[in-house]
Structure 1
Amino acid sequence: MNNILLQDGSVVPRNTDNTWPLFRLAFRPFFLFGALFSIVSLVAWNALLNGKIGFAVHGGPLWWHMHEMLFGFVGAIVVGFLLSAVQTWTRLPSIKGLPLFLLFLLWLTARVFMWLPAVLPPWIIAVTDLLFFPAAALVLTRLVVKARLWRNIIFVPLLAAMTLANATMHYSAAEGLTELALSAAVGMVLMVTLLMCIMGGRVFPMFTANGTQTPRVPPLAWLEKSAIIGMLLVVVTQVGIFALPAWVNALLLFVTAALHFIRVFRWRIWVTLKTPLVWSLHVSYWCIPIGLTLLGISELSDSITRSQAIHSLTVGAMGIMILAMIARVSLGHTGRTIQVGKLMNAAFLILTFAFVVRVFGISVFPSYGDVFTTATALWVLAYGCFFALYLPILTRPRVDGQPG
């Protein structure tokens, strides 16, 4: 009675963990409620832009939209992924149970506090929000140091840099410095893009080989290093730390984009077209060099706006990659076959269309309002599919009876 018989005939010990399944590993609450939060936030933002509702939020509506999609939604997914992955990397138990619930509650409290600027002092809202990344970094550091896996220590300074960007955004809100807020938001976008480039290079070739039963593409050391170094330089130059001529910024962006175009082309998207959990990852990565190219054009010409370029990285690269990764990780970490059905395949297609509409839709739609509304509706539909399908998966024990 203490063992479970799996479909392949193997027997595993039954998990006796009495922790509520939602808080057995970090990906569960942060993927589920991060996805739901993105839906709520975008619906509220679109309703505000169209004059359907009015509301007071910390930092003002535009600041709130930028901050909450980056530090609220994306931040939740990043922490959920890292604090789950570190258990696989180190083979040490990661945060769960009451400590995980408290970390999730910290994130959720900060989201609620953003809606209460008339009730709470700004410093309480800011401090509550700023504690999240450092708390996650402490958990990550403890496990990486204990296991002596120094290769993965890189994610700790990255979380520290994200905390600094977050602090800068809160300072800009307190002082009414719109340009500083925009710079901090761009910095966060590019740091998350850097994280996606690092993780993509590590796992996408493997996912492609495993998912398509084709040979794994061997990495080219010069290309891998150059692509990451180029992206790191883009982060530094685009946040305004150095005042460089526009043509220098554009040249760096074009060269870095070219490196990532070569990188993702070598991964052979054409062999993945029948495998939704793989082609979606490829499409998301293609959005990175597209976004960098558009950002370079925006440095030299008004034909492409900076907003279009940034949304290539947020809606395209981040939105699609997050949806694909949380769908994949949620299946693997709950003991299920890593394969999605037609509905999630449709969700990936819908979100890809949302990227196209948000970035290039102004050439088709009569107004930006129509662009925003259409892109929002598509995002809500795609992430709504995830929430509906994965709610029972993420709130129930693993099907194989194992911990996590």
Structure 2
Amino acid sequence: MNNILLQDGSIAPKQVDRTWPLFRLAFRPFFLFGALFSLVSLAAWLGLLSGKVTLSVHGGPLWWHMHEMLFGFVGAIVVGFLLSAVQTWTRLPSIKGVPLFLLFLLWLAARVLLWLPDLISPWTIAAIDLLFFPAAALVLARLVVKAKLWRNIIFIPLLAAMTLANATMHYAAATQRLDLASSSATAMVLLVTLLMCMMGGRVFPMFTANGTQTPRVQPIAWLERAAIISMLLVVISQLGSFALPTWLSATLLFVTAGIHFIRVFRWRIWVTFKTPLVWPLHVSYWCIPIGLTLLGIAELTDWITRSQAIHSLTVGAMGIMILAMIARVSLGHTGRAIQVGRLMNGAFLILTAAFLVRVFGNFAFSDYSHIFKAATALWVLAYGCFFVLYLPILTRPRIDGQPG
């Protein structure tokens, strides 16, 4: 930071940011408590399934599990990432302090109220929960429009679509339509997958080049466009009102998977295996075409279940990518070196094992409960490592004295 000279020639003292470090930038509270919430909610879901937990939750256990892992956990990470990244994109200060605390409180209030469905009306709970994405979109839109970075305006309609999926899911809970809840959850899964495809193309080749000290893979324009357009078509085709014939839907899924296989193969995963903060990003992206392929197979046969395909995108693509990104972003935005030790590298390996167990475990084990328990335990262990290691990082000021 440059020194400021006063009229008498003296150097002005540096301004001290008195904001509590946890609320100096959005990634701090949402990454930390989003990770914590994921392991708490999964442990609760396991208890609900086994009958060891008898707590009444809004929408019923299955609805609550789908909603909270997607709109609670993933939603927190998406907002934390976007509202932190927009400061880098625009070079304008993003939300912090009391406004950030209130936004976090809005997210937290919805999580708590969904545990207490008898406290207030279900429509009030839904309204509180539905405010989160629009509030974040307003913050994001203000900075993007002010900086005239129209390339990033795409995230506003994406957050609006996530809000619509959330509203539909709440309507499904009110009308007790589990089929509608499932399709709404699938829509959210695919919207987040679209977001991962967009962000992956922007930053993964750069992260790979910087982390491995190898030449950066240059994008192929038609391939990049095809990757996003095909994924957008998958999102639309999987919505109930735009349902395609089975053979056509499966074909679209296979073609989209093929495009993303080519895309991620070009990024050269084999050069990343010795770089802990890079290889999990590649593994997570490989889970996208794998998941799309499994979805296509599930459309045509019962050899693969739709649940296996969806969990390839959730546990594999989202779970691993989120853990790698929040570990990386948290270091960079707190002034630390972009390096992790053996424990976090172990956490990435553990989460990869959770993906393999959850998606392919039924080929080795006949008891589904064992598969779910093992995958849940592995997730809790991996994200527990992040929470313990990053608690002091995310609750303390930047080590270089800079704001954020």
TM range (shorter): over 0.9
**Corresponding residue for residue 32 of structure 1:** 32
Task: Tell me, yes or no, if structure 1 residue 154 matches structure 2 residue 154.
Answer: yes
**Corresponding residue for residue 280 of structure 2:** 280
**Corresponding residue for residue 383 of structure 2:** 383
> What is the CA–CA distance in structure 2 between the aligned matches of 1:366 and 1:299, rounded to whole Å?
23
> What is the CA–CA distance in structure 2 between the aligned matches of 1:119 and 1:281, rounded to whole Å?
41
Aligned-pair distance for 1:54?
A: 1.4
Q: 2:124 corresponds to which letter in structure 1? A: I
**Corresponding residue for residue 7 of structure 2:** none
Aligned-pair distance for 1:312?
A: 0.1
**Corresponding residue for residue 217 of structure 1:** 217
String of CA shifts for 1:277-305, please: whole Å, max 9, x gaps.
00000000000000000000000000000
**Corresponding residue for residue 70 of structure 2:** 70
**Corresponding residue for residue 120 of structure 2:** 120
**Corresponding residue for residue 290 of structure 1:** 290
Task: Tell me, yes or no, if structure 1 residue 265 matches structure 2 residue 280.
Answer: no
Aligned-pair distance for 1:193?
A: 0.1
> What is the CA–CA distance in structure 1 between the aligned matches of 2:147 and 2:333, rounded to whole Å?
21
Equivalent pairs counted in the alignment come to 394
Q: 2:134 corresponds to which letter in structure 1? A: P
Alignment of 1:270-349 (within 5 A): 270-349=270-349
Aligned-pair distance for 1:15?
A: 5.9
Question: Any idea what SS the aligned residue of 1:216 has?
Answer: coil
Task: Tell me, yes or no, if structure 1 residue 248 matches structure 2 residue 273.
Answer: no
Aligned-pair distance for 1:107?
A: 0.2
Question: Any idea what SS the aligned residue of 2:278 has?
Answer: helix
Alignment of 1:23-172 (within 5 A): 23-172=23-172
Aligned-pair distance for 1:243?
A: 2.8
String of CA shifts for 1:358-391, please: whole Å, max 9, x gaps.
0000122231100110000000000000000000
**Corresponding residue for residue 187 of structure 1:** 187
**Corresponding residue for residue 9 of structure 2:** none
Question: Any idea what SS the aligned residue of 2:284 has?
Answer: helix
Aligned-pair distance for 1:254?
A: 0.2
Preserved CA contact (<8 Å) 1:141 1:153: yes
**Corresponding residue for residue 6 of structure 1:** none
Preserved CA contact (<8 Å) 1:86 1:144: yes
Q: 2:126 corresponds to which letter in structure 1? A: A
Aligned-pair distance for 1:47?
A: 1.2
**Corresponding residue for residue 360 of structure 2:** 360
Preserved CA contact (<8 Å) 1:14 1:402: no
Q: 2:328 corresponds to which letter in structure 1? A: R
> What is the CA–CA distance in structure 1 between the aligned matches of 2:201 and 2:240, rounded to whole Å?
27
Name stretches of at least 5 consecutive residues in structure 1 with no aligned partner. Answer: 4-12
> What is the CA–CA distance in structure 2 between the aligned matches of 1:52 and 1:366, rounded to whole Å?
22
Aligned-pair distance for 1:241?
A: 2.1
Preserved CA contact (<8 Å) 1:39 1:379: yes
Taking CA–CA contacts closer than 8 Å with sequence separation of 6 or more, which of the two structures ends up with the larger relative contact order?
1
String of CA shifts for 1:323-349, please: whole Å, max 9, x gaps.
000000000000000000000000000
> What is the CA–CA distance in structure 2 between the aligned matches of 1:303 and 1:24, rounded to whole Å?
49
Preserved CA contact (<8 Å) 1:15 1:401: no
String of CA shifts for 1:53-73, please: whole Å, max 9, x gaps.
211111110000000000000
CA RMSD of aligned residues (A): 1.0
String of CA shifts for 1:12-45, please: whole Å, max 9, x gaps.
x966100000000000000000000000000000
Identity value in percent: 81
Aligned-pair distance for 1:242?
A: 1.6
Question: Any idea what SS the aligned residue of 1:19 has?
Answer: coil
Q: 1:298 corresponds to which letter in structure 2? A: A
**Corresponding residue for residue 237 of structure 1:** 237
> What is the CA–CA distance in structure 2 between the aligned matches of 1:289 and 1:15, rounded to whole Å?
49
Question: Any idea what SS the aligned residue of 1:133 has?
Answer: helix
Aligned-pair distance for 1:399?
A: 0.3
